[in-house]
Amino acid sequence: MLNKFIVERLILYNRICKDFSKAGKKWVTSRDIAEVLSKTSAQVRRDLSKLGKKGKPGVGYKIDELVMEINKLLGLDRHWNIVLVGAGNLGRALFFYPGFKREGFNFKMIVDSNPDKIGEKWKGIEITPVANLVQDINKKDIDIAIIAVPSASAQEVCDKVVRAGIREILNFAPCNLNVSDDVEIRYADLALELQNLSYTLKSRKNR
């Protein structure tokens, strides 16, 4: 229904509104939001017109209503359960990253292939063997899998996760994963972001 551009921007608007709210603002205009992102106010208005609530001409949008509407539209008004696959450095950082819980994403399960890690507990959650992944996931009510294993094993754990019925995956391994069309994968490839910067850096140096 909504295309990915709009969804991505709505998420940003949401964060911006929350910041405005923290700063004591009650109302916000399309231009206020647009300025933060260096976009046009027309685009912000068109995006916001997808929401149920309308803005007030001459005034703008009531911030707390707007945040609620965006949350509702994006499914951020509830909790989602997560399985973390891979308890290495990156997995640990993700697990203890405060932003996830704050946004309603709860780790319910941690899985690793390293026998030394099995049985270790993080915030009361025991790390379990990757071998049991499929049956274990089925017992819990998991919505999303975060893959934080080396590329070499990413496809393998991805297959398991999908076999266990998960349809939403956030992949931190720097590789493409092969899945059927009904599985949604987002790639959070850290090196990829740096490579993007590389291009602007290089263009700058050549100028």
Provide the binding-site residues for DNA, judged by CB under 7 A: 3-6, 29-31, 39-43, 45-46, 48-49, 54-61
Q: Check if the beta carbon of residue 151 is closer than 8 Å to that of residue 171.
A: no
Strand bridging mode 144-147 / 184-187: unpaired
Q: How far is the CB of 58 from a second copy (least distance, A)?
A: 27
Binds 49, which of a second copy, DNA, none (CB < 5 to 8 A, cut-off by type)?
A: DNA
Strand bridging mode 125-129 / 105-112: parallel
Sign of CA pseudo-dihedral 63, 33, 186, 74: positive
Residues 6 or more apart whose Cβ sits within 8 Å of residue 77: 68, 71
Instruction: Give me the residue label for tokens 């499929």.
Output: 134
Binds 97, which of a second copy, DNA, none (CB < 5 to 8 A, cut-off by type)?
A: a second copy
Interface residues with a second copy (CB under 8 A) are 1-2, 4, 7-8, 11-12, 15-16, 19, 36-38, 73-76, 80, 82, 89-90, 92-94, 96-100, 102-103, 105, 143-144, 150, 167-170, 174-176, 178, 181, 184, 186, 188-205
